[in-house]
Structure 1
Amino acid sequence: MLVLTFPGQGSQHPGMGAAWAGTESWAVVGRASEVAGRDLAALLLDADANELRATRNAQLATYVTSLVVLDALRRAGLPDPEVVAGHSLGEYTALTAAGALGVDDGVRLVTARGEAMQAAADERPGTMAALLGLDVDGAEAACAEAPDAAWVANDNAPGQVVVAGTTEGVATATAAAKARGARKVLALPVGGAFHTPLMASAATALGAALGAASFATPEVPVVANVDAVPHADAEGWPALLVDQLTAPVRWRPGIEGVAADTRPDDLTILEVGPGGVLTGMAKRIVPGVRVASVADPTDVEGALGLLA
């Protein structure tokens, strides 16, 4: 069984497109630049870490780079997966990979999402932190000590939960998490409290853009972040994508569900795009699973070799 996963914001890094420039798959960047009305090649090749950290840049850069990698894998003979999933922003890439969302609509939606989330973060500033060594119940209890100021934002993997909220709220929640046994707390370099009620204004703005987009029946099921369930039809995605902005990403239960009826050695999970964070999560969620991260051209052959 083959599962494709797509990373979200935070996986971007300077020069993330350099290895792909000049390949046939780089044509994806030109098309996306036309739709976005921006020089995305410059973003993928020349932008520094501070420029890429901005939400409006990070999301487009990650989405487009993942599509470049996907195109290269397909040109090299990647077989069709049985299911796809994307983490936060990566859900848009997963929908595009599944044929549920066209590239043009995807670029427009990711642009709108990034702008809406940036505006919401400017309006209601916040932050995020990863809690290591604490389960989701412990994280929720820690957030309860900062009511209406901190929430669980990502249930990523066993012992890895992300909380988000106001700066003060997250400080209170992380202190409570340490008291409850969290081994380590890592501040995340993001520009807002994503997947919390502080993103409510972004949900309203994104809803209008989603109303103008066309969704088709996906060629393979797409696991939704909000309910951790594979969806095999087009209906419901606009609402799921709006809800995703203010609800936690349920990544761990989503991957657990996909793997539930498959032996780990019969399951291959490929991470398609920059970074390798989801690959590490997959190993923790499904011990013994075959995994590979494809971020540059040198990764393609090895990843396809897992499927031989």
Structure 2
Amino acid sequence: MGIAVVFPGQGSQAAQMGRPWRDHGSWSLVERATAATGAPLAHLLLEAPAEELAPTREAQLSVLTTSLVAWDALAATLDRREVVAVAGHSLGQITALVASGAVSAADGFRLAAARAEASAEAQAATGGAMLALLGADEDVAHQACRAAPDRAWVANVNGAGQVVVGGHADALDAVAERAKELGVRRTRRLAVDGAFHTPLMALAAERLAPVLDTVAFHPPAFPVVTNHDAAPVRSADGWPERLTTHLVSPVRWADVVAQLVAMGADTVIEVGPGTTLTGLVKRIAPDVTTRSVATPDDLPVEARR
């Protein structure tokens, strides 16, 4: 059996998503994350209402921390020789780096906080937004973006007829109208306050670069399949450039899943809150077995405490 482990990104957060883990031994990671970031993570994971988790910094740190708690619990049950690769969607790529040992947990928490703050600064400067095109392929999405030249771009190619575009908020109505003319069955604004993975994140890449220079990268225990080009990376080299490129380039999730399958994965486990990636994998690669580990109940019985 070949296992690929994938980690979700911003948008998978939910109020009180940490409560099922509160009495699990892996909860100690929350204290480490709090020490590294200064964020009130126990409050965010146990008590905060959904609206308090919506801002980029709170959302990203909460998802990262919950995912790593779940990974810590799951990893003790896996035969690591069966893990062919790890990957993450957007923010989840940072989680994958920590899970693979390419980045320490302390550096991962610090990097995620800096990435979120840099993204928030870029959001404030550009006023971006994102729009899902349901029933579109990448070519149609590019055509729709031509309704707003240099103001809207493809941001996520999630596969199975789901493409997300990002751009200036006032440009996306024209993109939506053009998409419907091209036969896209439905469009939907996403509940995010920025145009992630587009040129509007150039300021975020610029702000993050000095922080990346302070992070120690190590050879990963498992290959990490990257978001922007679906390449399996087995070395410690080149990550600062990849992680800045990642901020301004589309997430090519359909290609990531295809790469995981090509590397021998017949089982994909989504680790962290929600089941968004599990759903996408089922549609992209229907012959692959999928599992999700969002709470201790998703673990083998012996690992639930």
Tell me, yes or no, whether TM beats 0.5. yes
Q: Deviations over 1:81-111 (max 9, x none)?
A: 1100000000000011111000000000000
Contact 2:90 2:227 in 1 (8 A): yes
Tell me the residue number matched to 2:271: 272
Contact 1:32 1:40 in 2 (8 A): yes
Name the SS of the counterpart of 2:28 in structure 1: helix
Q: Deviations over 1:198-221 (max 9, x none)?
A: 111111001111011000011110
Tell me the residue number matched to 2:150: 148
Unpaired stretches in structure 2, ≥5 consecutive residues: none
Tell me the residue number matched to 1:10: 11
**What TM-score do the two structures reach when normalised by structure 2?**
0.95
Contact 2:84 2:263 in 1 (8 A): no
Instruction: Report the alpha carbon displacement of residue 183 of structure 1 after superposing the two structures with TM.
Output: 1.2
2-side partners of 1:74 and 1:232: how far apart? 19
Tell me the residue number matched to 2:45: 44
Tell me the residue number matched to 2:89: 87
Identify which of 98, 101, 104 aligns with 2:100. 98
1-side partners of 2:269 and 2:279: how far apart? 11
2-side partners of 1:259 and 1:25: how far apart? 30
1-side partners of 2:136 and 2:63: how far apart? 28
Tell me the residue number matched to 2:133: 131
Tell me the residue number matched to 1:292: 291
Tell me the residue number matched to 1:283: 282
Name the SS of the counterpart of 2:158 in structure 1: strand
Residue 220 in 1 paired to residue 222 in 2? yes
Contact 1:53 1:191 in 2 (8 A): no
Name the SS of the counterpart of 1:38 in structure 2: coil
CA-atom RMSD, angstroms?
Answer: 1.3
Contact 1:197 1:246 in 2 (8 A): yes
- Of residues 44-53 and 15-24 in structure 1, the stretch that sits farther from structure 2 once superposed is 44-53
- Letter of the structure 1 residue corresponding to residue 276 of structure 2: V
- Letter of the structure 2 residue corresponding to residue 14 of structure 1: A
Instruction: Report the alpha carbon displacement of residue 79 of structure 1 after superposing the two structures with TM.
Output: 2.1
C-alpha distance 219-50 of structure 1, shift in aligned 2 (>3 A): same
2-side partners of 1:277 and 1:38: how far apart? 26
Contact 2:56 2:120 in 1 (8 A): yes
2-side partners of 1:261 and 1:15: how far apart? 36
2-side partners of 1:46 and 1:207: how far apart? 34
**What TM-score do the two structures reach when normalised by structure 1?**
0.95
2-side partners of 1:268 and 1:176: how far apart? 38
2-side partners of 1:179 and 1:158: how far apart? 20
1-side partners of 2:284 and 2:291: how far apart? 15
Q: Deviations over 1:139-169 (max 9, x none)?
A: 0111122111110000011200001101122
Residue 173 in 1 paired to residue 175 in 2? yes
2-side partners of 1:70 and 1:189: how far apart? 27
Tell me the residue number matched to 1:78: 78
Instruction: Report the alpha carbon displacement of residue 261 of structure 1 after superposing the two structures with TM.
Output: 5.9
Identity of aligned residues (%): 48
Name the SS of the counterpart of 1:61 in structure 2: helix
Instruction: Report the alpha carbon displacement of residue 288 of structure 1 after superposing the two structures with TM.
Output: 1.8
Tell me the residue number matched to 2:65: 64
